Amino acid sequence: MSGGRSLREWINQLEKGEDYSAFRPSAAQENEMERPAMHAFLVTPDPVLVTTFTDACQELGIEVQASAERDRFAEELHRAKYEAVLIDFDFMHDPVAMLNDMRQSLSNRNAVVFGVTDANHRQQALAAGVKVLFERPFDGKEIRRVLHGSYDLMVRERRRYFRCAAKLPALVIRIRSGEDFRCTTMNVSSAGVALNGVHLEPGEEIQVILFLRESEAMVLGIGTVIWDDKHGKTGISLKCASQRHQIELDSWLDAHFDLSASG
């Protein structure tokens, strides 16, 4: 930590190349980029359906969680982000209410919904707004074909919430005191960042400089502390200082999203 330098003084120093090497990501940091997979959640007691759908998902690199328990559905909506959800209308109690729960979930309301039903529940599923419907007896080849056809929709949903797990150098400057801290990111999104190595107060406004890997680009922004675990980890809501910085950040995220999707 050092004090007394304004954000502009830091930027001037870094743009001149002074002490910049200390902020550049190391080779080890560059190799620690994680490739987050897409996820699907299956709610059905049918083991054949679980196996068939899981096999098709694995061909696309999609990780699957499955449960036969109705009560676990709401828990999963709060616990995790899913790009696709499959609901078995034949065996699950009140599947329409399950869909309503999903649509009220901030992180999962736009997930691609797959329904499975026999002829007796087909109209119920369609009336509930299910756009992708498999009818029993289902065909494994048809499930594979439809899932591949829905992949782009799932990728689009993944991109909207994409957080890149990356250890990037960062500089945090407290607006009130001018204190500055060097730390590293844990993950980065278009509108937020989680930091490691700094303790801040929730609600506090800060200035942030991110040093992107694979380039000498700096992203400047104003952050608001959303949470702090009191052990050196902090979540920041980030607003880039200009459109240029936002474009720089989004371009970097797009490149790593494409890498994660193709990996």
Three-state secondary structure call for residue 193? strand
For the residues 235-253, what does the mean pLDDT come to? Answer: 91
Q: Which of 6-20, 44-58, 162-176 has the highest mean pLDDT?
A: 44-58
**pLDDT in the model for residue 214:** 62
Q: Write the DSSP string, 31-76.
A: TT---PPEEEEEE-S-HHHHHHHHHHHHHTTEEEEEES-HHHHHHH
Q: What is the pLDDT of residues 96-134, one digit of tens each?
A: 999 999 988 877 888 999 999 998 888 999 999 898 999
Q: How far is CA 182 from each of CA 13, 20, 77, 176, rounded to the nearest angstrom? A: 15, 12, 35, 17
Picking from 51-55, 76-80, 178-182, which range would have the lowest pLDDT averaged per residue?
76-80
Q: Is it the case that residue 30 has pLDDT exceeding 50?
A: no
Give the pair of three-digit tokens for residue 193.
């960042």
Under CATH, which number does the domain 38-160 receive? 3.40.50.2300
Q: 227, 235 in Cβ contact below 8 A?
A: yes
Q: How far is CA 202 from each of CA 64, 173, 239, rounded to the nearest angstrom? A: 35, 15, 16
Every domain of the chain and the residues it spans: 7-33+163-262, 38-160
Q: What is the pLDDT of residues 206-234, one digit of tens each?
A: 999 999 876 668 899 999 999 999 999 99
For the residues 75-79, what does the mean pLDDT come to? Answer: 84
**pLDDT in the model for residue 206:** 95
**pLDDT in the model for residue 20:** 45
**pLDDT in the model for residue 188:** 92
**pLDDT in the model for residue 234:** 94
Confidence at 66, pLDDT banded by 50, 70, 90: very high
Q: What architecture is domain 7-33+163-262?
A: Beta Barrel (2.40)
Q: Is it the case that residue 69 has pLDDT exceeding 50?
A: yes
Block residue for tokens 């509930």 = 128
Q: 189, 160 in Cβ contact below 8 A?
A: no
What contacts 24+ positions apart, CB below 8 Å, involve 51-59? Answer: 52/138, 52/140, 52/143, 53/86, 53/114, 53/143, 53/147, 55/140, 56/140, 56/143, 56/144, 56/147, 56/148, 57/147, 59/144, 59/148
Q: Is it the case that residue 12 has pLDDT exceeding 70?
A: no
Q: What is the mean pLDDT of the chain?
A: 84
Confidence at 13, pLDDT banded by 50, 70, 90: low
